[in-house]
Structure 1
Amino acid sequence: MNIQFNNKRALVTASTGGIGYAIAHGLAEAGADIILNGRSIESVAEAVAKLTQAVPGTSVQGIAADLSTAEGVATLIRDAGEVDILVNNAGIFGPQDFYEADDELWDSYWQTNVMSGVRLSRALLPAMVKKGWGRVVFMSSESARNIPADMIHYGVSKTALLALARGLAKRVAGSGVTVNSVLPGPTLSDGVANMLKDEVERTGKTLESVATAFVLQQRPSSIIQRAATVEEVANMVVYVCSPQASATTGAALRVDGGVVDDIV
């Protein structure tokens, strides 16, 4: 399968590292012009330089904007202009007991994980529909279907993305624009590395081995019995953004290593 994104502009939110950067890299390798996004000017500049070097000849634009606020999203919309591909990757996660999670915490997760994608899609989808081609992807999580007891606030926000993607797919039905969600499982992202860094330092083991132990203990239903790489997740996103995935829309596509014990 030869995936090509020639003359397509792709915006990937929260793409200065981890899964977001891997997605941007994969799209760039297939010929897309890339808009990178992060919260700080410094992190964005570093990511732009890194991607430009990694994929020579790629057109890369960087936009610093904090997507946890309506104002930050408005900045990104203004500076990005029209795009053909929107990957809503911005998100936060972390454990917190339900009884100790106050309204402020819930709102912070809702604004970043859900409303950033709502606002961007509302602004950028109409131009895609008018052109008759476009791709929107929401980065959800296996936690959307397998709600963690210690991260209920996070799981709820990711479940909301499944409903949002399905509803938007119906809203733009027949337009040539597809809307899907992708559900990674435990992945060797920057966030997971940070979560496990104390254990890595304490044991002297590699991040990969500590992540494997975490998966086996916390996600024993995993079939691959390890954490996925960011590139493995990115591969799914690149495909679902491709012209070849034109009949895939309104879908929740799992890259969870089989963690969700389900046959559909």
Structure 2
Amino acid sequence: MDLGISGKIALVTGADSGIGWETARILLEEGASVILTDKDPEKLAIAAERIGHPNQVFFYPADITNIEELKKLHQKIAAKIGKIDILVQSAGITGAQGLFHELDDEGWTTTLEVDLLGPVRLVNEFLPDLRAGGWGRLVFLASEDAVQPYDDELPYCCAKAGILALSKGLSRTYAREGLLVNSVSPAFIETPMTDAMMEKRSEELKVSKDEAIQSFLDQKRPYLELKRRGQTEEVAAVIAFLCSDKASFVNGSNYRVDAGSVATI
């Protein structure tokens, strides 16, 4: 499918692996130039080499929670590539886990800093680019947890609920300027983040990783009807659509990619 983004410039955060990397790959295949960013310079370099397209892919490390690093990132992009047309905010962490009475203030603060305030700072820095020229796309990675909170992941759930509110609010403010804002809410995708969760679960339960995944699906995600982890390309395809000209009448929406995991309508 021709997404109509050939020649556009896209910035993808959290792009050294998982959904961010897969999204960058699809955008590149559709003819966009893509800037990968994440915190670890070595992992980022490996991700850029693995993705190919050396004339269209750029990579610069940055921490989305750090305002000064974001300013430097913006300056590098402006000087070497130009203004961005597309921003995909995929960076995030699982954050503090445990029941509410088991969590401390630091766990809450760290999770909200990365998963909510990081995206706020990122958008604040790059919003002038996205508003210029009459055409822009902004896509946030939210989560099923935003609308179906789990008792042992409340900081993450609250941060992702905030992302949905941020996305909807921005969509109302800037649509008439040509900037369309949407979010995508995956559930239990096969990424390094869920790998780490399942490895921890397998150790705690003293079972294999596959058994840990199956027990998690049975006990924690009973409405995820396909009974498997989703694949990054299944999420990235939806993100890429929302970044495209094909989504020219989609604004303020939240697309669930969750195999039915959210139990309500």
TM-score of the two chains, using structure 1 as the length reference: 0.91
Counterparts of 1:51 and 1:119, CA distance in 2? 27
Q: Is contact 1:69-1:111 (8 Å) kept?
A: no
Task: Give matches, 1:248-259, under 5 Å.
Answer: 248-259=250-261
Q: Is contact 2:4-2:246 (8 Å) kept?
A: no
1:26 match: 26
Q: Which runs of 4+ in 1 moved over 3 A?
A: 198-206
- Name the CA shift for 1:93/1:132 in 2 (closer, same or farther; >3 Å): same
Deviation at 1:222, TM superposition (A): 1.2
2:226 match: 224
In structure 2, list runs of 5 or more residues that go unmatched: none
Counterparts of 2:104 and 2:199, CA distance in 1? 27
1:15 match: 15
Pair 1:169 & 2:171 matched = yes
3-state SS, counterpart of residue 64 of structure 1 = coil
Counterparts of 1:250 and 1:106, CA distance in 2? 27
3-state SS, counterpart of residue 167 of structure 1 = helix
Pair 1:67 & 2:68 matched = no
Deviation at 1:205, TM superposition (A): 5.6
3-state SS, counterpart of residue 176 of structure 2 = coil
In structure 1, list runs of 5 or more residues that go unmatched: none
Deviation string, structure 1 residues 136-163 (Cα, Å, up to 9, x no partner):
0110000000111001111000000000
- Name the CA shift for 1:76/1:116 in 2 (closer, same or farther; >3 Å): farther
Counterparts of 1:224 and 1:63, CA distance in 2? 37
Pair 1:133 & 2:135 matched = yes
Equivalent residues, number? 258
Counterparts of 1:142 and 1:155, CA distance in 2? 8
Of 172, 190, 196, 2:198 maps to 196
Counterparts of 2:106 and 2:207, CA distance in 1? 35
The range that moved more, 97-106 or 162-171, is: 97-106
CA RMSD of aligned residues (A): 1.8
Of 118, 122, 126, 1:120 maps to 122
Counterparts of 1:85 and 1:7, CA distance in 2? 11
- Name the CA shift for 1:235/1:210 in 2 (closer, same or farther; >3 Å): farther
- Name the CA shift for 1:18/1:171 in 2 (closer, same or farther; >3 Å): same
Percent identity, please.
Answer: 35
Deviation string, structure 1 residues 40-90 (Cα, Å, up to 9, x no partner):
2111111111111xxx46511111112233233333223233211101111
2:188 match: 186
TM-score of the two chains, using structure 2 as the length reference: 0.91
Deviation string, structure 1 residues 221-248 (Cα, Å, up to 9, x no partner):
1122221111101111001111010100
